[in-house]
Structure 1
Amino acid sequence: MQKVTIELLQAIRRKPISKAELVRLTKYSLAIVTEHTEILLEKNFVREIDRGPSTGGRKPLLLSFNAEAGYIVAIDLESTNVRVGITDLNCNILVSESLDDIDVLAGPTTVLEQVKELVFALLHRVGIESPQIKGIGMGVPGPVEYSVGLPASLSIMRGWDRYPIRQFWSQYFQCPCYVDNNVHTMAIGEQMLDLESKIENLLFLKIGNGIGAGIICKGQIYRGSTDCAGDVGHINMGHDILCYCGNRGCLEAFAGGRAIAARAEEMARNGQSEVLGEIYSKKKKLTLVDVRQAVEVADPVAVELMRECGVAIGNVLAGLVNFFNPSLILIGGGVSQVGDVLLASIRQAVYQRALPLSVRNLVIQYSSLGENAGIVGAAALTVDEIIDNNAFVYTDAH
């Protein structure tokens, strides 16, 4: 019987809907729909709102998901920064803030303590108490054994292997916690923009220090048999640069954020770019922000650097397009903020190298949510899980 209630709640969550529409959508009888929606109304997870359009008789009352029945803590952890948001149950961001002095190599205890302080500061800012939090969603910049919520071994997150993130948060909140690779949460966040979207097959490509893809297949996130699907940054593209994974030739070692900064720094030292050289002489190092600054003033060396990276990424994407045949590719992550030259180069490479049939209806564009994709996705993942796992339907909404 609980399965019916959950199925109805998921349907109501997607849009305001009448009982008659629920009957048509779910194939349950009107008596069963009425019985279970009464449970949801009593628990305050559903509200009755204005009447919908008439289909010939009396205008029906619409049932709407109550987004204010609780709140979600959403966390998007990157290797050098973190963004935290507090959302309602419709994943609308109530408040959010970033910390740019995070270093995941400092280890999970240090980093999570920093994140915890930010979480409680945001809760205090909007006047929300811990018991009102119905779930915590957290994206991390590396593989995760999703079923158990444990980060897997990866050089970018040394010291985090199988660290019990869920148990850390259970010290402060009495609610479920879900941990995933943040490129997966970003993909889910973009899909959350329109729950009725007809786009069921899409790739979200995050280009940061690492490069990874979130795969939405037939409307569902695809994680693979060991939860590590989408690690496209380690596809070999034929160069001889040593990657931190121990192999040579990885896309990430050529076009990831750290790789771009390192190549720009070498160009500055060699006198290839006056703009980059001036920045380097003052700072004695270059970052992705400096490269973006050089691109913004149309420095030809920086522009060509980003064009080369876009072509390399596009060449890899072309193979993925031939294999997976998505209808939408979204580009996000820190490197995507460098400028339009990157997106133009990616598009050109994909459209040139992928098969004509594969790209006939393909759209390639920047992420609509930008820096908020990770926290919206972490919240959406969490709401889906707590509904599907019956984590609050049969508990007091207050």
Structure 2
Amino acid sequence: MKKYAIGVDIGGTKCAVVLGKGSVADYGTEDFILDKVIMPTIIQDGPDKIISQIYDIIEEIMRRHHVDLSEVVGIGISCGGPLDHESGVILSPPNLIGWDNVEIVKRFKEKFNVPCFLENDANAGALAEYMFGAARGCRNAIFLTYGTGMGAGLILDGRLYHGTNDMAGEVGHIRLAEMGPVGYGKAGSFEGLCSGMGIAQIARMKAMELIQMGNPPSICPDMSRLETLTAKVLADAAKKGDSFAKEVFAISGEHLGTALAVLIDILNPEIIVCGSVFTRSYELIWHLASEVLQREALARSLSVCRIVRSGLGEYIGDFAALSIVLSNVSFL
């Protein structure tokens, strides 16, 4: 009997439902993902309405592909933390206001009567890269989300590492500088200096200083334009040669090198996979990060570690949610 997995990716701006098929031997095949439906996350609707909409999408996808619940091996739910993966409870994520102690696994089990599993998005991303992407075949891997924020999923000795209470991998909280952009509630943190949000903060702080000195950057001639300085806008400008934007990425890249050295020295991984911003802006970040890394990391540990872009790119969220199922149950 053909078997299917369902993945649910819950985010602050959108949710996605993915239908996957196959067996262990099918990992990485192009047709592994059968279908995907995206819906906007309207936070004001609250968890009950959003979860009900996700139920409807799951049922719609199953009807479209003539899938019966008896053929579904499980549902994997990926969501930003904090959460408790063992009890299946979402615990007040900052990007999901009102999602306080939501027993999401219990709800999905009661609705569909199939095995259901919950992981934070960084852990799910690590599983996806480990099973399908750049970390395939590695026993010790780190996945850095490197998106709006900065988190890590850790694969150690071939297993996902959660820590004592699901807090392993919260690398965004590490302080890299005494002062700097705020991320994860801490000035000068890894998230504050190396994330989409952090890059925008660096740019706004520098632009404000230059404007006040009477030497505004061309990309931001006055204070009214500060909010337009997003990581994407800066990356586009830097790729066209804008010196201000290139300097912002240089600052972020140098701090990335420091953070990578810390992770390599402590965890001795084979590979560190960086997603999102790093993948899209590699040429703006990596050369400076690499210089710092060569200087700061233990040479013996660095010699066995590769730092690479996400192998799944913009599709990592799709594979991440399905990977949660695959890591918990085997396709038959």
Q: TM-score range by the shorter chain?
A: 0.7 to 0.9
- TM-score, normalising length from structure 2? 0.83
| Residue 212 of structure 1, aligned match among 148, 151, 157 | 151
Correspondence 1:170 to 2:114: no
Distance 1:94 1:357, change over 3 A: same
The SS at the match of 1:349 is helix
* Structure 2 residue matching 1:298: 3-state secondary structure: coil
CA deviations 1:308-344 (Å, max 9, x no partner) are 1122122112011011111111001355423421233
1:94 is aligned to 2:38: no
Conserved in 2, the CA contact under 8 Å of 1:85 and 1:375?
Answer: yes
Shift of 1:86: 1.0
Note the residue ranges of structure 2 that are not aligned, 5 or more in a row: none
State the shift of 1:104 in Å: 5.5
Contact 1:343 1:365 in 2 (8 A): no
- Shift of residue 198 of structure 1? 4.3
Q: SS at 1:275's partner residue? A: coil
Residue type of the partner of 1:93? I
Q: Secondary structure at the match of 2:219?
A: helix
1:78 aligned to 2:11?
yes
Structure 1 counterpart of 2:244, from 287, 290, 301: 301
* Alignment-derived partner of residue 240 in structure 1: 179
**Structure 2 vs 1, CA of residues 228 and 107 (structure 1 numbering), >3 Å: closer, same or farther?**
farther
Question: 254-263 or 218-227, which moves further after superposition?
Answer: 254-263
1:139/1:185 contact within 8 Å kept: yes
User: Which amino acid in 2 is paired with 1:274?
Assistant: S
Per-residue CA deviation, residues 25-73 of structure 1 (Å, 9 max, x unaligned), is: xxxxxxxxxxxxxxxxxxx4xxxxxxxxxxxxxxxxxxxxxxxx22111
Give the 3 Å change call, closer, same or farther, for CA 361–244 of structure 1 in structure 2: closer
Aligned residues: 320
The 10-residue stretch of structure 1 (177-186 or 114-123) with the greater mean CA deviation from structure 2: 114-123
Instruction: List aligned pairs for 1:275-354, cutoff 5 A.
Output: 275-276=219-220, 285-334=228-277, 336-354=279-297
Distance 1:175 1:209 in 2: 33
CA distance in 1, matches of 2:64, 2:253: 41
Identity, % of aligned positions: 25
Secondary structure class of the residue paired with 1:386: coil
* Aligned pair partner of 1:152 in 81, 91, 99: 91
Higher normalized contact order (CA 8 Å, seq sep 6+, divided by chain length): 2
Residue 376 of structure 1 and its aligned partner are, at CA, apart by: 1.6
The structure whose Rg is larger is 1
* Correspondence for 1:371 among 314, 320, 325: 314
Does the 8 Å CA contact 1:185/1:377 hold for their aligned counterparts?
yes
- How far apart are the structure 1 equivalents of 2:5 and 2:100? 25
Q: Report the residue type matching 2:17 in the other structure.
A: V
When normalised by structure 1's length, the TM-score is 0.70
